[in-house]
Chain A
Amino acid sequence: MLATARALTVDRFTSEVVGALERDGIPSVLLKGPVLQQWLYDDGAPRGYGDADILVPPDHVDRAVSVLDRLGFGDRSLEGVPHMRPNHARTFFRASDGATVDLHETIPGATADAREVWHAVSSSATKLRVGGRLLDASSRPVAALHAALHAAHHGVKEPRPLEDLRRAVARASPDVWLEAEEIARTIGALAPLHVGLRLVPEGERVRAALRTGDVPIDPAVRLRATTPPKLAEGFAWLSTQKGLRTKAVIVFRRLFPPPQFMRVCMPVARRGRLGLVLSYPWRLVSLAWHAPAGLRAWLRAKGQT
């Protein structure tokens, strides 16, 4: 009940944000949340969501950030912190009502340029009524693809993305999946599509019917699908960086990140100067604690190549 109430609130501020973007001439496409809820949970089963996932064209991101700023949202992402792994979205939070917006420049698992992703998603967008307003939202093939990519992104231990995918597999026709596959090819997301579909038993049938046969799976994609322990993805990302010096700088930055990072990631660092100072030794202890399991998970995923 509470999850549904929260989702209704999210719908309201989603409508507010998209309306404000529209007034500034910024196109957007709504992803996940209400898209999956209205398509896959129309049997009355609960499917809550706590934030709005909004995709904008990459060359409009800065203006979209200005709009969010004007609406009272603060940037909770690590954008601008050097040597951070790139993320597919930036999180914005409004303290007055707890509204949270994930501003997407791309979608998880896509390796193509963000402009390609925008084109593929926006060109097939459909209208959806959310929070009393008709918004552009991802089409069924994009939503099906996103369900698979999201499951692959969060891995086998996250029940909600898996339930979304189970329902998408049951609901979407073979044609929808073939279209999803074409979009995955365009945005460079074939590998996580295949990996995602393998995470649910019914998905294997869909995967087997796709046009592409077996696709090579990057170890990092394989790793993600296991819902790896902390730091494992950091090791995977580090391994892709070129040069010893670059790697050393990244490790140093991970050990001693700037205050902006600490304040976002560690609540204690938000408690004044003393809290910030204390957060650094705490971080070192935490990293030392989690590193062995993370490294083992990464090496295991790498060894399966």
Chain B
Amino acid sequence: MTERLRIKKGAVEWREVEGEVVALDVGRSEYIAINPSGTVLWRELETGATKEELVLELVRTFDVEEDVATRDVEAFLRTLDDRGLLVR
């Protein structure tokens, strides 16, 4: 069974401006600027999504190959995980 992932509540303050997310990592007091493809993933992760759903969303939005989208999603999730911003 694929696990659902979501952004950890209270770990970040964020805002979407001109199609891109700017987030404040509250624990580290660091800003994260997220590009448009990351922003698509961020929106999904706010409500909770599986890795497969994230890949599908990228493919649908940006019309990229599935393996490219999978690499991007994995890299994005790894970044969030390293910062402790993901819950499963």
Contacts and interface: CB of A to CB of B under 8 A. Distances in A.
Q: Do A and B make up one complex? A: yes
Nearest to A15: B13
Interface in B1-57: 10, 13-20, 22-24, 26, 31, 33
A9 B17 contact: no
Interface in A1-45: 1, 4-5, 7-9, 11-12, 44-45
Contacts of A11: 13
B19 A8 contact: no
Contacts of A8: 13-15, 22-24, 31
Contacts of B10: 132
A45 B15 CA distance: 11
A5 to B, nearest CB: 4
A45 B18 CA distance: 6
Nearest to B13: A8
Contacts of B26: 12, 132
Interface in A147-175: none
A44 B43 CA distance: 14
Contacts of A5: 22, 24, 31, 33
Contact of B13 (A12, A45, A46): A12
Given A5-B31, A45-B17, A12 B24 contact: yes
Interface residues of B, number: 15
B31 to A, nearest CB: 4
Contacts, number: 36
B16 A44 contact: yes
A257 interface: no
Given A4-B22, A5-B24, A46 B14 contact: no
B85 to A, nearest CB: 14
Give the interface size bracket for A toward B: 10 to 19
B69 to A, nearest CB: 24
Contacts of A132: 10, 13, 26
Contacts of A44: 16-19
Given A1-B33, A132-B10, A46 B17 contact: yes
Contacts of A12: 13, 24, 26
B18 A131 contact: no
A4 B31 CA distance: 10
27 contacts: A1-B20, A1-B22, A4-B15, A5-B22, A5-B24, A5-B31, A5-B33, A7-B15, A8-B14, A8-B15, A8-B22, A8-B23, A8-B24, A8-B31, A9-B24, A11-B13, A12-B13, A44-B16, A44-B17, A44-B19, A45-B17, A45-B18, A46-B17, A46-B18, A131-B13, A132-B10, A132-B26
Interface of B: 10, 13-20, 22-24, 26, 31, 33
Interface of A: 1, 4-5, 7-9, 11-12, 44-46, 131-132
In order of increasing CB-CB distance, the 5 nearest A-B pairs are A8-B24, A4-B22, A5-B31, A8-B13, A4-B17
